[in-house]
Amino acid sequence: MKRLIKFDKFVAGIILVIVLAYFLPGLASRQSSVPLDTIAKVGISLIFFFYGLKLNPDKIRQGLRNWRLHLLAQSFVFLVFPLIVLAFYPLFKSGTYFDIWLAFLFMAALPSTVSSSVVMVSIAKGNIPAAIFNASISGLIGILVTPLWMGIFLEHQSTEFSFITVYTDLVLQILLPVVIGLLFHRYLGNFASRYSGYLTLFDKSVILLIIYKSFVHSFEDGIFETVALPQLAMIYLAVLAIFFLVYALIGGVAKSMKFSIEDRITAQFCGTKKSLVHGTVFANILFPASFSIGIILLPLMLFHVTQIFIISIIASKYSKREIDIDTVKTYS
């Protein structure tokens, strides 16, 4: 139990780069000669090339068989999540905190995570193949769906937003590298599997670099001076409320659909996750320069910490249950 809920190193890295952004902003300041934007763009393309490299087309085709589970998980990830946030739009559409609401909508419209979903489902003795399929396909769906959700509001908020520009950037920086990675899977797939730990480290390093740059600019512009401690606490309470509401709803629907305990675990774990990797990348592509990326990422980063902590505790409890040998053979 203690090992499962220990402080996540990536979370520690996020905290560290935010502190560095405040005290040592030089590398990412607007006056810096270091080409961090170019480095970040190249890093993003490599992240998604490796993502495609690790996708196994045969396993994706096999994963389609459990379509009811996938439909449930992805419906919550891309439809129910945003609709919950959208319900509060009338309260914030003309207020001071519209940008915070928009940040919540962005978080809600993002795809599920890959690595942490699969790891937690494995610990909880859930349906691992289905988790791999859901986590993998979610990132691809998000390339299309997330900009659609955000475009509804960003088109009216900024003349800089353009669907053509956004989708062009998404295709060039994300979709094209994924497709190239998929094409090279048969040649380099084993390499990607063998060195997946190093590739994950690379992914997280690029994300930390983008977070550092985003927060340097936010601190330079004095954005966080408008967010007091009570407001930060309210944001976190809202994050908790959304997580537990979605988790409970998925569980209820899965039971009504007579899912096995393994499928229910997978649906709840994959359906409640939001990807910080995709969020950090998408934020830099979707939001015009007039928006503070630091504020936009704030609910997502709080949600990231929350989902890791709570799901790890739940996974630990599920792992202690007894399962029969046929189930082990089916889901291992």
Res 332 pLDDT > 50? no
pLDDT band for 325, please (50, 70, 90 cuts): very low
Amino acid at the residue 239 = V
10 in any annotated domain: no
Residue 294 lies in a domain: yes
Total Cβ atoms within 10 A of residue 300? 23
Owning domain of residue 113? 35-320
Give pLDDT tens digits for 209-251.
Answer: 989 988 888 888 787 777 888 899 999 999 999 999 999 999 9
pLDDT of res. 239:
96
CA triple 320-322-328, angle to 5 deg: 105
Say if 22 falls within a structural domain: no
Q: Give 61-112 pLDDT, tens digit per residue.
A: 776 778 999 999 999 999 999 999 999 999 998 878 899 999 999 999 999 9
Label residue 49 by pLDDT band (50, 70, 90).
very high
With CA atoms as reference, report the closest residue to 185 among 75, 10, 57. Answer: 57
In a domain, 3, yes or no: no
Query: Is the predicted pLDDT of residue 5 greater than 90, yes or no?
Result: no
**Mean pLDDT lowest for which of 4-18, 132-146, 258-272?**
4-18
pLDDT in tens, 37-48: 889 889 989 988
The pLDDT of residue 331: 40
What share of the chain in percent tops pLDDT 70?
93
Query: Cβ neighbours of residue 315 under 8 Å, at least 6 residues apart?
Result: 4, 120, 121, 123, 124, 269
At position 52, the amino acid (one-letter code) is G
Q: In angstroms, rounded to a whole number, what is the distance separating the alpha carbons of residues 259 and 69?
A: 8
State the CB neighbour count (10 A cutoff) for residue 155: 12
**Does the pLDDT value for residue 326 go beyond 80?**
no
Is residue 127 in a domain? yes
- What is the CATH number for 173? 1.20.1530.20
pLDDT number for residue 158: 64
Residue at 17 is within a domain: no
- Measure the CA–CA gap between 119 and 133, rounded to whole angstroms: 13
Give the model confidence (pLDDT) of 179-208 as tens digits. 999 999 999 999 998 998 899 899 889 989
Q: How many domains does the chain have?
A: 1
Query: Mean pLDDT throughout 290-301?
Result: 89
Question: Which pLDDT band, with edges at 50, 70 and 90, does 166 fall under?
Answer: confident
- Taking all residues of the chain, what is their mean pLDDT, rounded to a whole number? 87
Kindly state whether residue 43 falls inside one of the protein's structural domains. Answer: yes
Q: CA-CA distance, 120 to 144, in Å (whole number)?
A: 26
Residue with tokens 């497709």: 179
For residue 244, being part of any structural domain is answered with: yes
pLDDT per residue as tens digits for the range 75-85? 999 999 999 99
